[in-house]
Structure 1
Amino acid sequence: MHEFLMRRFERLLNDGGMGGAGGDGPGNGDGGDQQSGGAGGQNDGTSWKAPDGIPPELIGGTADETLGKLLSAYGELDKRAAGLREKISKLPAAPQKPDQYAFEPGEDLKDYFGDLSKDPVFASARQAAHKYGMSQDQFAGFISETFGPLAKEGLLIKPYDPKAEVQGYMKATGLDAKAASTALEANMVFARGISEQLQLPDSLKSDAQAQLMALTDTAVGNALLAAFSARFNDIGIRISGDGGQAGEMTAADLKRLDSDPRIDPRNRDHKDPNQRYDEQLRQRYDEAYRKLNPRK
């Protein structure tokens, strides 16, 4: 390489003013003049001029001195370039495919990450990381440093786990598996019934029904539904799951209300507010009684 550059620089320097062009022209036949044109410019040191483009610090007093400086500078540059190439070759590289990125959450994050192979957010993060050339270590560090502080601040929501929700409901209510299954089914029927019977704006009805049904997915939601259902039953309102008329009573409801103090006008001033006469409940009781026991 150096020999090639030496020849190249020699041609460059010669073309730049060494005076050699004249000596190669036709002579007088004896060859004497072939030497005279090129000798003067180099030997007297007055007519040589470095070609344009060479940095001043690399220009010597003669072509040979300039060439020596250029070769020395090239050698130093080549060493630096070799070191840089080696450094770049050792830099971490991105995987060949986005799905080769992996992430193992630590203790502070493992409860917030479910099956990442089915997580669309994680898939999108892989695509973005691959697009911008992130290495595996960079990707894992980025995910950890992004979500770790959020977990500590309580800003992350744990993935939905239906088994954990059922177990939580059983623990809170003290029900065994069989009784819990019956209760959860009753909550589902109640939620479906009330979502159909509530009078809601048409533009919000679908979303409201979805919100009510979503309560059946969690332990807290099921506890709320069970409490609402029990309270409605206490005041004589039965919610069925068939989308029937709101507040429609059954024969069983009437039988239970037969002895309920709230349908007795004599209890208008009962000392217990929960047992005082309820005029609306009595009207509903009478209407249901007439409907279920029509006169012949």
Structure 2
Amino acid sequence: MDGEPGGPDPSLHQLRLLLVLAEELHFGRAARRLYISQPAFSRQIRRLEEQVGVVLLERSTRRVQLTAAGEALLPRIRALVGAADELREAVRTQARAVAGRVVLGCYITALPVITALAERLRGHHPDLEVVLREVDFVEQTAALLDGRVDAVLAYAPMPPGIQTLPLATEGQVVCLREGHPLAGRASVTLAELAGLPVIGSSPGVARVWRDFWAVDPRPDGTPVTYTGHGATTFEAGISAVVQGHGIRFVSASCRELFPRPGIRYVDVPDAPVCTAVLAWSSARRDTPEVAALRRVVGGMVGTGGSDPNPRWWHTGHTESKGD
């Protein structure tokens, strides 16, 4: 094949095909790798050679190999495709730029993770105003569904209509009043806690959330007895425990995050593990604000992490699986 190129500039698609073929040196394997038919693959490579006016490959019934011209052009082709990929990513990043206002809820906004997340969000989206809002256990779902907040950092499970991104998993502990016969133990079982009332929650708290955090029913099917309290916050529940009214299940990280006089946190190895999540309304999943939060949180922690005492809640970061 001699002479000047016989058509328009080659497409990036054709150049990508050539790069794969240069790795496989086999039309069938290259075509299968890219999920296209071998005849279509071969036609694209032929067309590429016609367009550049140079024979790039030597073909035989046994093998395929690059010609000297193909070998010489390969680094430039690879660089061109790489530059195109970088440009595409730059365009995507620019398209993801968000301006406006995002409201992020949490039951305690002073948590280190909240500060770290807000700083990271501002770093990625300097034109985005980040507003932190404390929400109680009723508002953490109600405020999502009515749009008062864009997302919350909370613990699963969440009721229908709310989607979540898992951040970290950990065990549960039980809060016992200091002086309780079980308070000095390193761990207790659910069977040993049977019959002890759980501090009651407000009727506005999502039932699925309340049941999980009371381990109701217990593994043997026994329903839980609740006190008459209508707690909506962490502090209200802990205060009732200190006064000796009942017990409360919380995440293991509370032992370090919220030490309180008058209570003891005791491990409950047979209680279900709990999962910290970023949560948002299903109806608002793809809004710019929620999409920005999901990307930033995913970059901070990845997903599906498991740690009995996750550092993420303390420091605001862990090893990332990608940014």
Q: TM-score, normalised by structure 1?
A: 0.20
TM-score by length of 2: 0.19
Higher strand share: 2
| Higher relative contact order (CA closer than 8 Å, sequence separation 6+) | 2
**Structure index of larger Rg:** 1
